[in-house]
Structure 1
Amino acid sequence: MRQNPSFAMTDVAELRRVIGENPWATLVGRDAAGMTASHYAILLDPERDDLTVVGHVGRPDDLVLGLGRPEQELMVIFQGPHGYIAPGWYGDVAAVPTWNYVAVHLSGVPEVLDAEENLRVLEHLVDHFENRFPSPRGMWTPPNDEAFVRRLEAGTIGFRLTPTRVTAKRKLSQNKPDEIIENVILELSRDESHPNPALAAEMRRAHDARLAARAQQA
């Protein structure tokens, strides 16, 4: 993803928020046949406070993604809120349609986990999503037994990625006047044909942060 200084995201806390809220990621790697993209749920490493992520892939995706090959990079892409921006929302000015979005790209050489650590990552993944339910079921909840869970683990490869390259972009109409940004947020909130409250909320968050920073500098 080409970086644009006007839209760059660099704050680690904000990057962690975007990753945490959008765990369904795209993994891009390569083998001798070329590049492959796969899709998995990826989480922030619960034992770290940086941008390290953990996850797993099913066999044989580890081979086509090049996991475990020395110096073979993996790219993990997190897609935040995004959506169409109509030119009419800019008012009576020359304008073209565009697409607002938030995206985070993490690249680095992944560490392949042993079986026990992979089990911990799988358990963390299950707990993360099950805890939203009234009666969560963990990895070890009956009728799951140890033999079943071990067979499940054996069919996966766990990994940890501490990125050596981070490219993150938040293209949310920052290059437009305040009144236009406010109107785009309003339209995204009330458009009955294509409502996009998630993108409106992301734009509001970014715009309010800019206004606060501007006030501090005044």
Structure 2
Amino acid sequence: MRHTPRFLMTDVDEVKRVVAEHPWATIVSHTAASTVASHYPVLLETPGPDDDPDAIVLVTHVGRPDEVAHELGQHEVLVVFQGPHGYVSPGWYPPEQFVPTWNHVTAHLWGTPEILSDDENFRVLGELVDHFERVMPEPVSLDVDPDTARRIAQGTVGVRIRVTRFDARAKLSQNKAPDVVARIVEELRGDGPYASPALADEMDRVRAERADGLEAQ
């Protein structure tokens, strides 16, 4: 991503939040044959008592033969998480400011995948299902029919990615005056063509952090 220090997201917990709230990720590999991209749900692995609490560890699965296409385990991959994003119209700015932009929350994470055993893969698949089913009125689990679930799981390959570095951005109009930011948030919460309450929430989060920082000075 473009190096924009004003918008850098360096807090590990904030990056984890983006990952946790937006688990549909893009996995990108530069292989011997070409550049390959695939899209899968990704979860944060819960750290154990002896693990580094600041480490970011991802778990997911790919469908066969994506593990071959990506050459998983042979080199580093990039995993991209896209949070809320949207167009910001210059119509929401003062008249002299007429250049539009696109606000976004994005995290790029790198690491070399570790191929999971069949048992670990099945466990991760179960955790993925349970994670997304937990909000359903009647959650469905792989435990409904473990034998069938295990047969289906044979078409997948589980991976763990211990993140070695990340590059994250929260570009949320931090370069604009407070009154302009307030107008943008108001428009994003409205009913116009570019309304985006989720993006407005992210901007309010940054505004609150800035306000807390000023009070602490």
User: TM-score, normalising length from structure 1?
Assistant: 0.93
CA distance in 1, matches of 2:102, 2:192: 18
2:96 matched to which residue of 1? 93
Q: Among 134, 138, 160, which residue is 1:135 paired with?
A: 138
Q: Which runs of 5+ in 2 are unaligned?
A: none
1:115-126 aligned at under 5 Å gives the runs: 115-126=118-129
Please state if 1:53 is matched with 2:22. Answer: no
Partners of 1:192 and 1:73 in 2: how far apart? 42
State the distance in 2 between where 1:29 and 1:163 align.
Answer: 15
Instruction: State how 1:138-157 maps to structure 2 within 5 Å.
Output: 138-141=141-144, 144-146=145-147, 148-157=148-157
Superposed CA RMSD: 1.2
Aligned residue in 1 for 2:3? 3
Q: What is the aligned-residue identity percentage?
A: 47
Aligned residue in 2 for 1:173: 173
* Unmatched 5+ stretches in structure 1: none
Q: How far apart are the structure 2 equivalents of 1:134 and 1:68?
A: 38
Distance 2:135 2:153 in 1: 23
Aligned residue pairs total: 212
* Structure 1 SS opposite 2:9: coil
Q: Is the 8 A contact 1:105 1:166 kept in 2?
A: yes
Q: Given that residues 113 and 159 in structure 1 are in contact (C-alpha distance below 8 angstroms), is that contact kept between their aligned partners in structure 2?
A: yes
Secondary structure of the corresponding residue to residue 163 of structure 2: coil
Q: CA deviation at 1:106?
A: 0.6
| Aligned residue type for 1:132 | V
CA contact (8 A) 2:185 2:203 kept: yes
In 2: Cα distance, 1:63 partner to 1:3 partner: 33
